[in-house]
Amino acid sequence: MLLGMRYDKFYEINGTCPEGTEGAAFVNGDKVKFMNYAMIGHAAGIALHWLHQLFNHYNIKVFATFFIVAKMIIFFYIMIKIQSGTDFTECADVVGAS
């Protein structure tokens, strides 16, 4: 929804970071990659949650539990991936304003 409203301004970052730093990687494309991770994670979470509810409704508990555990594993993996990719000190003043 946020991307659809103002796509041209959504990824805008004013300023530059020294090459070879994590901040420069974020400015030069990782920001888009992390947003894609978040969107894919949400879509997978919704699908796995619905599958969990469906199998739970029909008393197929093993598969229902598998889907809810898969949902949690994907959530934690993506959360750690995004947090570790955006946690840096150099260029924090440039990137933090985005």
79 within a domain of the structure (yes/no): yes
Query: Coil, strand, or helix at residue 46?
Result: helix
* Boundaries of domain holding 37: 33-98
Structural domains in the chain (count): 1
End-to-end CA distance of the chain: 17
Q: Has residue 50 been placed in a domain?
A: yes
Kindly state whether residue 74 falls inside one of the protein's structural domains: yes
pLDDT 10s digits, 65-85: 999 999 999 999 999 998 888
Q: In whole angstroms, what is the distance from residue 52 CA to residue 70 CA?
A: 10
Please tell me the distance from the alpha carbon of residue 91 to that of residue 32, in angstroms, as a whole number.
Answer: 17
Q: For residue 69, report the phi and psi dihedrals to the nearest 5 degrees.
A: -70, -40
Flag whether 59 is in a domain.
Answer: yes
The pTM score is 0.77
71 part of a folded domain:
yes
Residue 89 is assigned to a structural domain of this protein: yes
Q: Is residue 84 part of a domain?
A: yes
pLDDT on residue 67 = 97
Q: What is the pLDDT of residues 42-56, one digit of tens each?
A: 999 999 999 999 999
Task: Specify if 23 maps to a domain.
Answer: no
Query: For residue 5, what pLDDT is reported?
Result: 73
